[in-house]
Amino acid sequence: MDDWSQIARGSLRTPDQVACAFDLDVAEVRRISRHFKTLITPYYAGLIKTKGDPIYRQVVPDPAELVEHSGVSDPLAEDHDSPVPSVVHRYPDRLLFLVSHRCASYCRFCTRKRKVGDPKKIHPKAIEEGLEYIRTHEEIRDVIVSGGDPLMLSDARLEYILTRLRAIPHVEILRIGTRVPCFLPQRVTPKLAAMLRKFHPLFVNVHFNHPDELTPEANQALGLLADAGIPLGCQTVLLKGVNDDPLVMRRLMQKLLMARVRPYYIYQADYVSGTDHLRTTVQKGIEVMEALRGWTSGLAVPYYCIDAPGGGGKIPLLPKYIQSISDEQVVMRNFEGETFVYPQPKSDRPAPEKKAPRKERRPSISPCYDLTGLPPIG
Ligand SMILES: *Cc1c(COP(=O)(O)O)cnc(C)c1O
Ligand code: SF4
């Protein structure tokens, strides 16, 4: 048995283990875990310093999960865009391919908690059907291998899936979305990295939410992937009591860069049932973005997005930098709040609307002006 499967085997999983480890009421843990399984690797549990800290909040079941505040089971309406069970096809040229129901640990805020941890919902048998769907849809040039967590599959199984995907001529790039480098970095072995590098161009998006997660072990795992030539991105979720503090978020982004991970997205927490206690306002997200742009390396500044409830896809949100815009000039403010004016070219007037050729789907909304519609902060 690999080291990592041995470590995974030692995870806290039964309500008794969890209740005992964190001094909780076992009946309550049992009730919560009926809604969404509990699983915590011993490595990640070891990062908890105190009850209720940012690491704890992400994985330890909370009675607040049972309070019917708000939220829905499938906030992004993924099931609506699911032509076959293992595929979520929402955007024109790319899709999510769900290949594993397992994760190394379960995040209490998971947007896909209706599915992850349940082999009936993300079934190994559905993989062939997904491959067939991708093969017969020539518009798919980007496949995001997801789940659950694809790195919870064995090297052999993952290699099989990647080989089948690479054999499809119209699939240009592959991506893997994984939280394994955060929850179970021991799983990222030189052998895994050597296997993955055969499938370039392959991108890996990891998921870290707090600077304390960038341990020496995690840094080593990320280094192995980066040394295999894999461009690394990070998808962070904005969470109350975890990273809803501009300085914590800034430090996280900086530490990711030091691990050669380019922050890609900060997501507003999805409208998932039982997660009200972990969600922040959108104003908090804007405040976090204000504290990044200009104040630290641009490389450390990801997009802040809401994945729109109901299946609208990712919508980027920015602090309101544009104060006014006309054919003559643009008035804007910089990161420190000072106002600047950019004179528009005199010769140019906005071109009359041209009809876009019908061949490709094109955005029909003018992307120019008010990018957010949100009031300026502060
Ligand atoms: C996030 C997501 C993608 C990938 O979006 P990018 O902006 O290209 O990273 C693709 N499909 C679905 C359904 C998604 O939720
Ligand atoms: S690792 Fe991702 S898929 Fe797995 S529980 Fe966490 S958020 Fe959900």
Ligand nearest to the CA of 91: 1
118 against 206, higher pLDDT: 206
Residue 105 Cα, ligand 1 centroid: separation in angstroms?
22
Domain covering 79-319, topology: TIM Barrel (3.20.20)
pLDDT digits (tens, 9 = 90+) for 111-145: 999 999 889 898 888 999 999 999 999 999 999 99
Q: What count of other Cβ atoms lies within 10 Å of the Cβ of residue 51? A: 11
Ligand nearest to the CA of 272: 2
Q: Which atom of ligand 1 is nearest to the CA of 90?
A: 13
pLDDT digits (tens, 9 = 90+) for 259-271: 999 999 999 999 9
Mean pLDDT for the chain overall? 93
Residue 334 Cα, ligand 2 centroid: separation in angstroms?
36
pLDDT digits (tens, 9 = 90+) for 277-289: 999 999 999 999 9
Q: Whose CA is nearest to atom 14 of ligand 1?
A: 96
Give the Cα separation of 123 and 355 in Å (integer). Answer: 44
> Is pLDDT of 307 > 80?
yes
Q: Which atom of ligand 1 is nearest to the CA of 265?
A: 9
Placement of tokens 């994985």 in the chain: 59
Active site residues: 90-91, 94, 103, 107, 110, 112, 270, 307, 314
Residue 373's pLDDT band (cuts 50, 70, 90)? very low
Q: Where are the domains of the chain?
A: 3-67, 79-319
| 41-50, 60-69, 352-361: which is most confident | 41-50
Q: Which atom of ligand 1 is nearest to the CA of 313?
A: 15
- In the prediction, which pLDDT does 354 show? 64
Establish whether residue 108 lines the binding site of ligand 1, counting it when its CB lies within 6 angstroms of any ligand atom. Answer: no
